[in-house]
Structure 1
Amino acid sequence: MMSSSFKQYDFKPFIMDAIDKLGFHAPTAIQEKMIPMIRKNQSAIGQSQTGTGKTHAYLLPLVDQVEEERQQVQVVVTAPTRELAKQIHAEVKHLTDGTAIQSKLFVGGTDKQRAIEKLKTQPQIVVGTPGRINDLIKEQALLIHTATSIVIDEADLMLEMGFLEDVDQIASRMPEELQILVFSATIPEKLKPFLKKYMENPQYAHIEPKQIQAENIEFVIVPQKSKTKDTVLYQILTSINPYLAIVFTNTKSKADEVADKLLEKGLRVGRVHGGLAPRERNKMMKQIRDLEYQYIVATDLAARGIDIPGVSHVINYEIPSDLDFFIHRVGRTARAGSSGTAITIYEPSDEDALNQIEKKGITFKHQEVKNGEWVTLNDRHKRSNRVKTENETDQKAKSLVRKPKKVKPGYKKKMKYKMEQIKKKERRKNRRNNN
């Protein structure tokens, strides 16, 4: 149908050709909401999970609006990691193939002088990491005062990795009438002052996370019990013998701590988090792709924007406080039609989070490792259901046995006896119903 296809947007012929080559049949939910706003030159915030088509939600309308004959910077796209910036730039190249539109990629860890040489001619589209783009602006090599749109992709990761200051400086050198497009899986509280500073009345599109695509993923939860979490993790890792496993922690310091402990035990462990210097991370990613490691300890930086092929297992050392990240994490495995396993270590305080995840359509296997073997445990809900039933039985017994108006010696004993009889009867009834 015309209304659900890309024809409704009346893109230039080269964009429509690119869409055909990419095999896109109809816009995704985030594209349907964002493309009309962007085409009206409105500033907007798009919030949706990974894999929903966010990149093309902004690239299609922005590339379509580029004036080929104007050899000035018109669009700036910032991304928190060089890996993501490279992926975005590759998509720009697909869209502009065969046109006179020039785009340039600028990321850290590359020769700055060479980048300055490239800027003798200003590209119409700039893609890169905020630090390197800001460096080139300061060198007066990159002239962004002519740009009309800036994209801040994966804004929550920008915040986590400390790049918002660079983005702030870039935006402050751009025209006042600037279209700002922010894309993020989550909108943390600390991001809001930045958004308020630059976006007066932004349009907002929030696409609720879909249920996790669980067909090819086996979900397992492992109780910590009386052991240390590091002991449980080591038992899991040495029992699964993965092709490649990512262990997720919530902070950079915890990732380093866990990686160091696993290294001490003789495991081949790499690490990926925002605290690594650009050169270190480049080297680490190369080593991971060359399969020098069997285990990677990472923060949520690796859950989005960095494509690590061949992940057979994902282990949640900690459950993320924002459960959308659980979806991003487990999505690292079972890619391209392969299967995978997602294992989560939990403690009693995680019960509510696990219940919330189950509401997203996940069914967990409840297991633990004993003497190197995987053992199936009772349903974790069984105990809480039993406690609930016991409480209900107590309440019923109390309501049925009333204190007599005239009390005689020993009345408390008699009341207690009657209550116990009622409880026994209720327990027998509950057992019959459950069998």
Structure 2
Amino acid sequence: MSEFQSLGLAASLIEALNRAALTEPTPIQSQAIPLALAGHDVLGLAQTGTGKTFAFGLPLIHHLLSAQGKPAPKSARALILAPTRELVNQIADSLRVLTTGGHLRVATVVGGQSINRQIGVLSKGTDILVATPGRLIDLMEREAVLLGSVTHLVLDEADQMLDLGFIHALRKIAPRLGTPRQTMLFSATMPKQMEELSRAYLKDPKRVQVAPPGKAADKVTQSVHFVDKNDKPTKLREILSRDRDALTLVFARTKHGAERLMKGLKADGFNAASIHGNKSQGQRDRAIKAFRDGEITVLVATDVAARGIDIPGVAYVVNFDLPEVPDNYVHRIGRTARAGREGEAIAFCCAEEVDLLRQIQKLMKIDIPVASGVMPKAVAPSSPSRGPRGGQGHGRGGQGQGAGRRGGAKAPAAFTGEKSGGARRRRGRSAA
């Protein structure tokens, strides 16, 4: 008997898990699933890559299997909110693994795709709706979706949604939901606002925590290179050249910086692509698929990809620019060492980023090992930050992360896509 079966899940779910060769629940799953099956509201805290999707997805589907009849037109029985398009798609794909061959339907609504097509899908009703908050509100305003039948609500990666102004969206969405309902909130970090959110929207929740908030997965090996900002491209090329066949995810702070970096890497012979807010959803989906399939080995991304990329084969995460929100560092490096594998997280830190590094280390309660260089004296950034949270604002498609400070000065031409001594760099204002 599989360990999942001992949790009390429906037979069809056990069969789906067996088909996927999954027999042993992760710690967050073994603790959260019984509580959710018993009908409790759940507040779950765990690092990225530890199986949070099935921790809420399995009990959610178990409950819905007993629902009578088909969902009414425009309605949904369960709503899952997530901050980014990529995460919405990843959650939906995971849930479809569990519902294949059954009668439950899973639908997604995100920004960047045809709203008319989404209206058509919702007109038939769905059992599980996975959505970014902004697009869901667009559909609510058009009366294309009715939420009064929702008896299960899941808030996934709620800390990032708080950063994006999600609390304002939730105030519009929550009053439309059915009652009574079960609410589950999952996150990798626990900012103070999360406590307020849980008190407002969860009823006597059971708290499940399998690692201290801000802690990286155990099998992630971390290191930091202290480099001058002008030397970052050279250091990146050196690191990528060590293992050209390994899947490497490189994080840049701005969408314009990510695109320039990707073009420079391609010019230098690296098999690279990029995803950021200036890419269409189709372009982003194709880049992620090519990365997952190994057709490209270097994916340059902004924080739009820090959550929602569930690719077990990612061997390295490189923080070309340190994030202005320390929590985002945890989510970035959580893209490697997934599903029990080992991974390596490499950070670059220039003088303008020393304070950011200190904030990250304070959050994680560790000193990241130094791989090269000496910590420089902190200096003020070249342009002012856009606020204490890095200028992040709510985006209608669940995106909208602002860039705050510029990441890095002018790099060599091979890494910027510019001509030698080229034109003045355009400032990137949005990291999504």
Is the CA contact (8 Å cut-off) linking 1:44 and 1:202 kept in structure 2?
yes
Shift of 1:177: 2.1
- What are the equivalent positions in structure 2 for 1:216-235 lying under 5 Å apart? 219-224=222-227, 228=228, 230-235=229-234
Deviations 1:109-161 (A, max 9, x none): 22222222223332122122222223333333322201111111111222233
| Alpha-carbon distance in structure 1 between the residues aligned to 2:133 and 2:90 | 16
2:131 match: 128
Partner SS state of residue 124, structure 1: strand
1:71 match: 70
Q: Aligned in 2, Cα 1:123/1:264: closer, same or farther, shift over 3 Å?
A: closer
- Is 1:298 the counterpart of 2:297 in the alignment? no
2:371 match: 366
| Alpha-carbon distance in structure 1 between the residues aligned to 2:316 and 2:53 | 27
Report the TM-score when normalising by structure 1: 0.67
Shift of 1:36: 2.0
1:413 match: none
Q: Aligned in 2, Cα 1:298/1:352: closer, same or farther, shift over 3 Å?
A: closer
| Alpha-carbon distance in structure 1 between the residues aligned to 2:288 and 2:102 | 36
User: Quick one: which amino acid aligns to residue 40 of structure 1?
Assistant: A
Which one is further off, 350-359 or 182-191? 350-359
Shift of 1:173: 0.2
Which one is further off, 17-26 or 308-317? 308-317
The structure richer in helix per residue is 1
Which one is further off, 341-350 or 144-153? 341-350
- What are the equivalent positions in structure 2 for 1:266-345 lying under 5 Å apart? 272=275, 276=277, 280=280, 282-284=282-284, 286-287=286-287, 296-299=300-303, 301-307=304-310, 313-317=316-320, 319=322, 325-333=328-336, 342-345=345-348
Which of residues 55, 59, 62 is equivalent to 2:60?
62
Is the CA contact (8 Å cut-off) linking 2:322 and 2:347 kept in structure 1?
yes
| Alpha-carbon distance in structure 1 between the residues aligned to 2:90 and 2:264 | 36
Deviations 1:153-193 (A, max 9, x none): 11122223334433332222012422211111112234444
Shift of 1:281: 5.4
Shift of 1:356: 8.5
Deviations 1:64-101 (A, max 9, x none): 11134332222111222222212211222221222222
| Alpha-carbon distance in structure 2 between the residues aligned to 1:37 and 1:335 | 25
Is the CA contact (8 Å cut-off) linking 1:106 and 1:127 kept in structure 2?
yes
| Alpha-carbon distance in structure 1 between the residues aligned to 2:365 and 2:17 | 36
- Is 1:161 the counterpart of 2:167 in the alignment? no
| Alpha-carbon distance in structure 2 between the residues aligned to 1:359 and 1:7 | 38
Which of residues 193, 209, 219 is equivalent to 1:213?
219
Across the aligned residues of Structure 1 and Structure 2, the Cα RMSD in angstroms comes to 3.8
How many residue pairs get aligned? The number is: 351
Which of residues 194, 199, 207 is equivalent to 1:196?
199
Is the CA contact (8 Å cut-off) linking 1:108 and 1:132 kept in structure 2?
yes
Shift of 1:289: 5.6
1:395 match: none
- Structure 1: where are the runs of 5+ without partners? 369-376, 381-435
Is the CA contact (8 Å cut-off) linking 2:251 and 2:302 kept in structure 1?
yes
Partner SS state of residue 254, structure 2: helix
- Is 1:91 the counterpart of 2:94 in the alignment? yes
1:46 match: 44
Which one is further off, 284-293 or 106-115? 284-293
| Alpha-carbon distance in structure 1 between the residues aligned to 2:95 and 2:61 | 8
Which one is further off, 351-360 or 26-35? 351-360
Is the CA contact (8 Å cut-off) linking 2:50 and 2:339 kept in structure 1?
no
1:172 match: 175
2:378 match: none
Report the TM-score when normalising by structure 2: 0.68
- Structure 2: where are the runs of 5+ without partners? 376-432
User: Quick one: which amino acid aligns to residue 298 of structure 1?
Assistant: T
Is the CA contact (8 Å cut-off) linking 1:270 and 1:284 kept in structure 2?
no
User: Larger Rg: 1 or 2?
Assistant: 1
Which one is further off, 138-147 or 311-320? 311-320
| Alpha-carbon distance in structure 1 between the residues aligned to 2:313 and 2:30 | 32
- Is 1:26 the counterpart of 2:24 in the alignment? yes
